Amino acid sequence: MNPEKVVFGFFIVLALTLNFGFFLGEIDDPDHHHVYELFAVVVVNLIATILKFGDRTQMGAVLLATSLVADLQLLTAALVWALAMHVSDVGFTPVVMASIVSLSGGALLANVVSVVLLVIETVMLRR
């Protein structure tokens, strides 16, 4: 068993499950989507992205691309949250929450693609 592959797979799956946990719930209800959960999703996705930089294969390039998409959407969601809470006069409205959750939904889809690609790569390995 390769410990690097275990850590790599762990962070990819953890990114997916954390993102799913944040995404689940009423789209415009802030009580269903906690800021610390979004923070955890961003951190774990960034770690997963860093781990993907070492892979020089075509599959590694696609995995890195999906991770970068997830990072971009999650960082944008965090930026929207921060702007709504600390900068905007409008504050935290259901429309803002819906935007944040929608962005995390896009990242969730990118994470699903990453996990599916990881499973496909694992199945194609021959000993």
Sorted by where each begins, the domain ranges of the chain are: 3-124
Contacts of 75 (CB under 8 A, 6+ apart): 42
The answer to whether 74 touches 38, Cβ cutoff 8 Å, is yes
pLDDT tens digit sequence for 52-99: 887 788 888 999 999 999 999 999 999 999 999 999 888 888 999 999
CA-to-CA distance for 93 and 3, rounded, in angstroms?
45
Average pLDDT, the chain: 91
The answer to whether 74 touches 20, Cβ cutoff 8 Å, is no
The answer to whether 81 touches 38, Cβ cutoff 8 Å, is yes
CA-to-CA distance for 71 and 77, rounded, in angstroms?
10
pTM, to two decimals: 0.91
